[in-house]
């Protein structure tokens, strides 16, 4: 007898078949989703790795650029350039090599100094008296100064030299920065390259190792193009008795075809207090008739 499945049986088989198909395709979809998740994770990781690499590369490049900028280009000197210890030593060694010959070959410098001294009240800065004098200085670099007074006046009237009046009050020479003992006497450090009076100059900081009154501490400017001593600005290494708030600023220039330098003019301000006598002294000077003094003939 031929068996004909009932409608219920056919529907039941269809549901079973559909359920199997759904499970089959569901399993496939899970695998596809799983694979897609793996691929997505891989691409995300790869992208992060690329970004990290780019960031590291960028940081490395920036660091390399910064290091390259920090080191001055060999042979090139420019305003505001970074200063390395090696470059500082190189410059100072060259300046010392230039001027140490001057100190070795000559006894000092002879010049005629024209001086104006203003005596001011330390409280009000009121001008109390003005002295002017001219004298010849026999400026030995390593021995006490000798000088010969030519003229002296106070408030426009001639005056005879006295204990204080018309006395230059100079005795000991300053300790040089660029002779053979410069490194022993001072810590010398190139701190900047900048313009001074329209010229490119090295700015060198001077610090006395064992400060004395004859040390100059502050800054010195030397021209880049020919290593000419141009200017200093600062104070003495140690205060002398009765002095305070000393400030000096001197201009200098090369002479004798650049073989030596000497100060051409200057400004100094100092407060003095000796046995109740208190004044602010303002010195302004100009040196003329500058000559080298041979070692065998210091006068």
pLDDT (tens digit, 9 = 90+) per residue, 70-101?
A: 455 667 899 999 999 999 999 999 999 999 99
* pLDDT(113) > 50: yes
* pLDDT(33) > 50: no
Return mean pLDDT, the chain. Answer: 80
pTM more than 0.85: no
* pLDDT(58) > 70: no
Q: How far is CA 163 from CA 29, 43, 73, 118, 224, in A?
A: 113, 94, 57, 17, 44
* pLDDT(215) > 80: yes
Answer left, alpha or beta for residue 34, where phi above 0 means left and psi between -120 and 50 means alpha: alpha
Q: What pLDDT band is residue 15 in, cutting at 50, 70 and 90?
A: very low
Q: What pLDDT band is residue 219 in, cutting at 50, 70 and 90?
A: very high
The torsion angles phi and psi of 54, rounded to 5 degrees, stand at -60, -40
Q: What pLDDT band is residue 167 in, cutting at 50, 70 and 90?
A: confident
The torsion angles phi and psi of 275, rounded to 5 degrees, stand at 50, 45
**Is residue 227 within 8 Å of 98, Cβ to Cβ?**
yes
Average pLDDT over residues 206-224: 96
* pLDDT(28) > 70: no
Helix (H) / strand (E) element for 89: namely helix 85-105
Q: Give the model's pLDDT for residue 298.
A: 44
Higher-pLDDT residue of 32 and 111 is 111
Average pLDDT over residues 202-230: 96
Q: Which CATH class is domain 85-294?
A: mainly beta
Q: Give the model's pLDDT for residue 56.
A: 53
List b or e across 207-230, with b for residues whose CB sees 16 or more CB atoms inside 10 angstroms. ebeeeeebbbbbbbbbbbeebbbb
Q: Give the model's pLDDT for residue 62.
A: 56
Residue positions counted in the chain? 299
Higher-pLDDT residue of 11 and 84 is 84
Higher-pLDDT residue of 11 and 280 is 280
DSSP reduced 3-state for 161: coil
Higher-pLDDT residue of 268 and 49 is 268
**Is residue 174 within 8 Å of 246, Cβ to Cβ?**
no
**Is residue 111 within 8 Å of 289, Cβ to Cβ?**
yes
The 10s digit of each residue's pLDDT in 235-271 is 999 888 888 899 999 999 999 888 899 999 999 999 9
Of 137, 134, 67, 130, which Cα lies nearest the Cα of 293? 137
Cβ neighbour number for residue 99 with a 10 Å cutoff: 22
Q: Give the model's pLDDT for residue 160.
A: 74
Higher-pLDDT residue of 248 and 26 is 248
Q: What pLDDT band is residue 46 in, cutting at 50, 70 and 90?
A: very low
* pLDDT(40) > 70: no
* pLDDT(204) > 80: yes
Q: Return the sign of the alpha-carbon dihedral for residues 28, 29, 30, 33.
A: positive
Task: Calculate what percentage of the chain has a pLDDT beyond 90.
Answer: 58
First to last CA, the chain: 155
Parse the chain into domains and list their residue ranges.
Answer: 1-70, 85-294
Higher-pLDDT residue of 272 and 159 is 272
Q: Give the model's pLDDT for residue 240.
A: 83
Higher-pLDDT residue of 144 and 82 is 82
- The DSSP line for 11-58 is HHHHHHHHHHHHHHHHHHHHHHHHHHHHHHHHHHHHHHHHHHHHHHHH
């Amino acid at each position: 007898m031929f068996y004909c499945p009932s409608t219920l049986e056919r529907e039941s088989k269809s549901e079973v078949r559909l359920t199997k198909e759904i499970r089959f395709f569901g399993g496939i979809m899970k695998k596809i989703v799983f694979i897609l998740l793996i691929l997505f994770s891989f691409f995300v990781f790869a992208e992060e790795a690329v970004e990290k690499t780019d960031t590291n590369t960028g940081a490395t490049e920036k660091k390399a650029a910064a290091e390259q900028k920090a080191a001055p280009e060999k042979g090139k000197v420019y305003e505001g350039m970074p200063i390395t210890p090696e470059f500082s030593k190189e410059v100072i060694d060259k300046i010392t090599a230039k001027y140490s010959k001057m100190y070795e070959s000559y006894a000092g410098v002879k010049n005629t100094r024209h001086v104006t001294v203003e005596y001011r009240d330390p409280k009000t800065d009121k001008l109390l008296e003005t002295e002017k004098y001219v004298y010849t200085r026999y400026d030995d670099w390593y021995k006490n100064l000798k000088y010969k007074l030519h003229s002296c006046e106070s408030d426009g009237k001639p005056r005879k030299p006295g204990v204080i009046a018309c006395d230059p009050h100079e005795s000991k020479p300053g300790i040089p920065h660029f002779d053979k003992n410069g490194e022993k006497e001072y810590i010398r450090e190139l701190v900047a390259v900048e313009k001074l009076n329209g010229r490119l100059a090295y700015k060198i900081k001077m610090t006395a190792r064992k400060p004395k009154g004859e040390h100059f501490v502050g800054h010195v400017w030397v021209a880049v193009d020919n290593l000419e001593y141009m200017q200093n600005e600062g104070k003495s290494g140690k205060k002398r008795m009765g002095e305070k708030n000393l400030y000096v600023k001197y201009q200098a220039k090369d002479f004798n075809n650049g073989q030596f330098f000497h100060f051409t003019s200057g400004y100094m301000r100092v407060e003095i207090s000796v046995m109740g006598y208190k004044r602010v002294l303002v010195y302004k000077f100009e040196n003329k008739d500058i000559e080298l003094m041979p070692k065998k003939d210091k006068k």
